[in-house]
Amino acid sequence: MQDSSTTTPETLVTADGVPLKQKLIQSTRRARLRALLLTLPLVIFIIVSFMIPIGQMLLRSVHNDTASSVLPNFAIAIQDWDEQGLPPEETIKLFVLDMQEARKKREIGRTVGNLATRINYEIPGSRSLFTSSSRKLARVTEGPYTEALLDINKKWDDPVLWRSLKRATNDLTPYFYLAALDMKYDGEGNIAEADELYQIYVSNFWKTLRLSATITFICLVLAFPVSYLLSTLPLKTSNLLMILVLLPFWTSLLVRTTAWIAILQTEGIINDILVFIGLVGEDGRVQMIYNQTGTIIAMVHILLPFMILPLFSVMKTIPPSYMRAASSMGAKTFTAFRRVYFPLTLPGIAAGTLLVFILAIGYYITPALVGGEDGLLISNLIAYHIQKSLNWSLGAALGTLLLAIVLILYWLYNKIVGIEKLSFG
Amino acid sequence: MKIKHFLATSALTAGLALAASAQAGEITVVSWGGAYTKSQVEAYHKPWVEKTGNKIVSEDYNGGIAEIKAQVEAGNVTWDIVDVELSDAIRACDEGLLETIDPGILPAGADGTPAEQDFIEGTLHECAVANIVWTTIFAYDSSKISDGPTTMADFFDLEKFPGKRGLRKGAKVNLEFALIADGVPAADVYGVLETPEGIDRAFAKLDTIKDQVVWWEAGAQPPQLLADGEVAMTTAYNGRIFNAVAGEDKPFEIVWDGHVWDLDLWVIPKGTPNKDLAMDFLAFSTATEQLAKQASYISYGPARKSSSPLVGKFHNKDIDMGPQMPTAPENLTNAVQNNFDFWADNADQLNERFNAWLTN
Amino acid sequence: MTKLQTGYIIFAVLTALVLLLTGSIAVTIGFVFLFGTPLFFMKPLPAYSTYLNYFNKYIFLLICTFIFVFLITPILIIMPLSFNAEPYFTFTEGMLSFDPAAYSFRWYQDIFFNGMIDPAATGAAWWSDMWNNAQWVRSTRNSFFIAICSTLLATGLGTLAALGLSRAEMPYRAAITSLLISPMIVPLVITATGMFFFYSDVGLAKTYLGVILAHTTLGIPFVIITVTATLSGFDRSLIRAAENLGADGWTTFRKVIMPLILPGMISGALFAFITSFDEVVAVLFIADVEQRTIPRQMFSGIREQISPTILAVATVMVILSIILLGVLELLRRRTERLRGLTPA
């Protein structure tokens, strides 16, 4: 004790002779480590079961090695081609040999068919050129290969095709993002807008955003009075009424969607009532489902609790005396509301709006079931490419764009509201 | 109720198999569900289970090769044998997703003709063996429309026949129908579709009824849509309509003008652990007798020539099946076979355009 | 006469008018319910209030009534519809006139009969047939198995992490919390697609384990949120007190922390359970027919062959959610009571 106090008299020391400051740092570090260790299993779990799968999917959107794995030797040689006329005989020879090899091996994911599918994205109608040529190429054993290829099909005499092959043999490609933004490569290899008749994704992104905004807005308009009512009622009554909000929240999404089909379909309850009252005739039944209207109604119903809960929890904290004070100072009810009450609810509005918007933008099930054709959202197109058309890279590119939008909103939510404010019931 | 019945029967086969043998194998057979799967269960599954003592798990799907591709590429194949459309079989085969099938394993016809000559031309492929010829027709409810439509043009004529139309969601078949309705003879349809103007023309024709269309995806939907009065007429797989008429006494009427026929084929995903059993089932089910028997449960034409003379009446009613077949001469006056080359080349692009057209 | 009483009289007159004009009891009952409920909840306003104040207040309550009706009707309406004797999705004449013959349990029977080999059998044979072959029964078993497994996993891992996150010394708290919450934010299609590719690669697709892991991932945010919320009201000095009194870490956790955060854990677990129980997108992408769950079965039912059996299943599901909600409410009360004991 004496020694240490003589050497550094100003340092406080613990019983075992370590300076207090150091000891404190040590123990904080240990506490930090302990806290971190507690979260570690879950963090690892989320990384493995969630982050890696998503990361892998994102990679798929820019990385597609179909062409280079079917044509490994050609892929290297073609890169030196100046894109004028046809590639040199030597390169075409490699192309023919690679094609023959691929046909012989029929390795899963590395067949001529896979290559044909890949090129067919960029040059529609070229699939059969590849598959039929490949069958005939089996007989070609000696050069000149260019001539043999042209003999099989005149279409090989097109530099556009070879330019596309050169691009496709690059594993990293922006092509799928171009496609996701309604763009393409023209014959010269420049980026151009896709034909108007084939444009679908940009407008669908806008539609998704527009529909989500509409749904969010309707939710806000409906949630505001209800939350206000709940926050002003005595606890017992409000708890009771809260059940009416929480029950839908706890009820299966599919149950609620089924219910809306029963209510809204042309032979459904609302139409029956309309016919019964005489507002519409038997053959004038209104189409309220399998279109945008149906999507909006069902989604508002499903997402409304996500707006009510945060609004309610903020409104509960606003003392009613504020409004009374405002009116006692002569403010009209509306002025008092606008100047005093409304600003105080803004955090709740921000939380609810962002949450509902984020959830709406990625919705899949409800639009798929009640959206018909014009009620489909971007999620449905992604699922279409993953499950039906099998253009996985395009699906991944669309998914990445959607994910980017959602993450920006999530970041905003974190900034404005704070993730720790999220709560249910 | 159809589904219920079918499940009962398929579960029954499973039960039978269990009783038959303890060390028996099990294969998963995937098909299109509803009345069609039921016909296969009766004609293929039950006799095979009885004969070999193996089990069959029957699964439904709505077409496409997505699932096969996912399973094969992941090396985790759980579907052993799948009933697919021709263009899908070709594409999957090109991509190396299917086992190649040696026609030598197929039994000779009942009259001794070798299988390769017995099968109708174009029904045997490198990786696929056809079992039936089916077609997409359109049908209406004759209790609701008395003086019914007779031509494809009528289907597109909203003035003469007002009311909603049911169409399968997708470009395939609908573009052909549109051109036929627009006056193109069935035989020339693909020639016209090869040109950009032809495609524009088909979409323009579809535009005329777009507002009135209800889109369906599963084969079981069109008869349901007709029965519920959701549509005035709908395109459908001919067998589904026939079975609603024959099995459930629905007053539906089939219009054969301009129909687009196609094949359904058995394929075996590459790398299935039950390849031998699947091959055995494939050979068994495409034998003369089995194909003929299936035709007594649903109005799809057998892919073997030797089966045709054996096709008789509907299994429990006095209805001749012959005239109900897509391949009956009187039904082929203005019909076209689905051109798989055209669709293999253009499906991606045309579906993209179709989707854009649908949502805009 | 108070202003409120005037309102009652106006309402009575209007009701009589509606009855006279439409001549329909059903419409009148509807009118009384919709427009009478807000009146029922009207309280006398301060003495200086004008008729306009009363009217505004009434309109406000009326709007709220409509919104509540919008929220709850769809859920309630499927219940009577599921007893329809006809295969329709709407009320038949007979149902509206309360004719007993118009109601039946056939769709509830159908839940069991669908897929059974011999629904007419009796005794043990019937039961084993139902248990093993009925489609809805099988998907119910799958749903429960998957939901329970993923709930246990999610609650265990989630509570542990929440304990760490709520410590004052936790480094990178914001970043880690955002990461752990993100499965709730990322669109399900994207999550499911990613899992579809990845799980296929590692052989987890089409297995129970794959679906369970996917559902665990999706349930975790809810556990984190509810348990951290409980812990935020947790008085840390209790831990120090326990340690002072000689308790070791495990005893402290078991005797002090655990009882206090248990309600939070249970409600987190309930959220995780319902998330899994209701989930269909991930199941659509990564499950096989073997792992078919109730929502998956409903999804294809709605898409392909909609029958009132789905309404019967839906009714059962609603009753289940009412039970869950009840448990949750009891827990909330318990937490409040416990909170009352600890210093704020």
User: Can you give chain A as a three-state secondary structure string?
Assistant: CHHHHHHCCCCCECCCCCEHHHHHHHHHHHHHHHHHHHHHHHHHHHHHHHHHHHHHHHHHHHECCHHHHHCHHHHHHHHHCCCCCCCCHHHHHHHHHHHHHHHHHCCCCCCHHHHHHHHHHHCCCCHHHHHHHHHHHCCCCCCCHHHHHHHHCHHHHCHHHHHHHHHHCCCECCHHHHHHCCEEECCCCCEEECCHHHCCHHHHHHHHHHHHHHHHHHHHHHHHHHHHHHHHCCHHHHHHHHHHHHHHHHCCHHHHHHHHHHHHCCCCHHHHHHHHHCCCCHHHCCCCCCCHHHHHHHHHHHHHHHHHHHHHHHHCCCCCHHHHHHHHCCCCHHHHHHHHHHHHHHHHHHHHHHHHHHHHHCCCHHHHHHCCCCCCCHHHHHHHHHHHHCCHHHHHHHHHHHHHHHHHHHHHHHHHCCHHHCCCC
Q: For C204-209, what is the mean pLDDT?
A: 90
Q: Which of A107, A200, A266 sits opposite B355 (nearest CB)?
A: A200
Does C149 or C245 have the greater pLDDT score?
Answer: C149
Of B186, B220, B180, B222, the C-alpha closest to B201 is B180
Q: Which of B41, B71, B76 to mutate to test the interface with C (most CBs of C within 10 A)?
A: B76
Å from A227 to nearest chain C CA? 9
pLDDT tens column, A257-277:
989 988 988 878 888 888 887
pLDDT tens column, A10-32:
677 777 778 888 888 888 888 88
C112 and chain B in contact, CB less than 8 A: no
pLDDT value of position C208? 95
Å from B133 to nearest chain A CA? 24
Domain B2-133+263-324 coded CATH 3.40.190.10 = yes
DSSP H/E element including B252: strand B252-267
Q: For A286-305, what is the mean pLDDT?
A: 91
User: B135-260+329-359: same fold as B2-133+263-324?
Assistant: yes
Token output for C179: 């990461």
Helices C135-165 and A20-46 sit at what angle, rounded to 10 degrees? 160
Domain B135-260+329-359 coded CATH 3.40.190.10 = yes
Average pLDDT value for chain B: 87
Assign B112 a pLDDT band (cuts: 50, 70, 90): confident
Which is it for strands A191-193 and B165-168: parallel, antiparallel or unpaired?
Answer: unpaired
CATH 1.10.3720.10 residue ranges for chain C: 134-341
Contacting C residues, span 125-144, partner chain A, CB-CB under 8 Å: none
pLDDT value of position B47? 94
Q: Where are the domains of chain B?
A: 2-133+263-324, 135-260+329-359
Residue B21 has pLDDT above 70, yes or no: no
Residue A4 has pLDDT above 50, yes or no: no
pTM passes above 0.90: no
pLDDT value of position C234? 76
Which amino acid appears at position C136 of this protein? W
pLDDT value of position A315? 92
Q: For A381-390, what is the mean pLDDT?
A: 90
pLDDT tens column, C88-130:
777 877 887 788 888 888 889 888 887 777 788 888 888 888 8
Residue A85 has pLDDT above 80, yes or no: yes
Å from C2 to nearest chain A CA? 22
pLDDT value of position C340? 61
Contacting C residues, span 34-93, partner chain A, CB-CB under 8 Å: 56, 60-61, 63-64, 67-68, 70-75, 77-78, 81, 88-91
Instruction: Answer yes or no: do A108 and B352 touch at CB < 8 A.
Output: no
Does A1 or A290 have the greater pLDDT score?
Answer: A290
- The C-alpha atoms of residue C143 and residue C138 are separated, in whole angstroms, by 9
pLDDT value of position B34? 80
Contact list in C for residue B73 (CB cut-off 8 A) is 200
Q: For A282-310, what is the mean pLDDT?
A: 89
User: What is the per-residue burial (b if ≥16 Cβ within 10 Å, else e) of B272-291?
Assistant: bebbebbbbbbbbbbbbbbb
pLDDT value of position C341? 52
pLDDT value of position B16? 46
pLDDT value of position C242? 86
Contact list in B for residue A391 (CB cut-off 8 A) is 348
Rg of chain C in Å (alpha carbons): 27
C176 and chain A in contact, CB less than 8 A: yes
Percent of chain A whose predicted confidence (pLDDT) is above 70: 96
pLDDT value of position A235? 84
Residue B216 has pLDDT above 80, yes or no: yes
Long-range contacts from B243-249, C-beta under 8 angstroms, 24+ separation: B243/B2, B243/B35, B243/B298, B243/B299, B244/B35, B246/B314, B246/B317, B246/B319, B247/B2, B247/B35
pLDDT tens column, A241-255:
988 998 998 899 999
Assign C342 a pLDDT band (cuts: 50, 70, 90): very low
pLDDT value of position A54? 95
pLDDT tens column, B242-271:
988 988 888 999 999 999 999 999 999 999
pLDDT tens column, C274-328:
999 999 999 999 988 889 999 999 998 887 767 788 899 999 999 998 998 888 8
Contact pairs from chain A to chain C, CB under 8 Å: 267
Instruction: Answer yes or no: do C68 and A244 touch at CB < 8 A.
Output: yes
When mean pLDDT is compared across A34-48, A141-155, C60-74, C79-93, the lowest value belongs to C79-93
pLDDT value of position A279? 84
Instruction: Answer yes or no: do B15 and C117 touch at CB < 8 A.
Output: yes
Q: What string of H, E and C letters represents the secondary structure of C61-115? A: HHHHHHHHHHHHHHHHHHHHHCCECCCCCCCCHHHHCCCHHHECCHHHHHHHHCC
Assign B300 a pLDDT band (cuts: 50, 70, 90): very high
Q: Which of B4, B11, B78 sits opposite C288 (nearest CB)?
A: B78
Domain C134-341 coded CATH 2.40.50.140 = no
- The C-alpha atoms of residue C153 and residue C123 are separated, in whole angstroms, by 38
B10 and chain C in contact, CB less than 8 A: no
pLDDT value of position A9? 55
Assign B328 a pLDDT band (cuts: 50, 70, 90): confident
- The C-alpha atoms of residue B21 and residue B355 are separated, in whole angstroms, by 50
Q: For B307-336, what is the mean pLDDT?
A: 86
Q: What are phi and psi of B330, to 5 degrees?
A: -70, -15
Contact list in C for residue A422 (CB cut-off 8 A) is 181, 225
Domains of chain A: residue spans and CATH: 2-62 (no CATH), 66-173 (no CATH), 201-421 (1.10.3720.10)
pLDDT tens column, B165-202:
999 999 999 999 999 999 999 989 999 999 999 999 99
pLDDT value of position A424? 62
Average pLDDT value for chain C: 87
3-state class (DSSP) for residue B251: coil
Average pLDDT value for chain A: 88
Contacting C residues, span 196-225, partner chain A, CB-CB under 8 Å: 196-199, 213-214, 216-217, 220, 222, 225
Percent of chain B whose predicted confidence (pLDDT) is above 70: 94
Assign B111 a pLDDT band (cuts: 50, 70, 90): confident
Q: Give ∠ CA A173-A176-A177 in degrees, rounded to 5.
A: 95
When mean pLDDT is compared across A316-320, B74-78, C149-153, the lowest value belongs to B74-78
Does C247 or C209 have the greater pLDDT score?
Answer: C209
Q: Which of B2, B3, B27 to mutate to test the interface with C (most CBs of C within 10 A)?
A: B3
C281 and chain A in contact, CB less than 8 A: yes
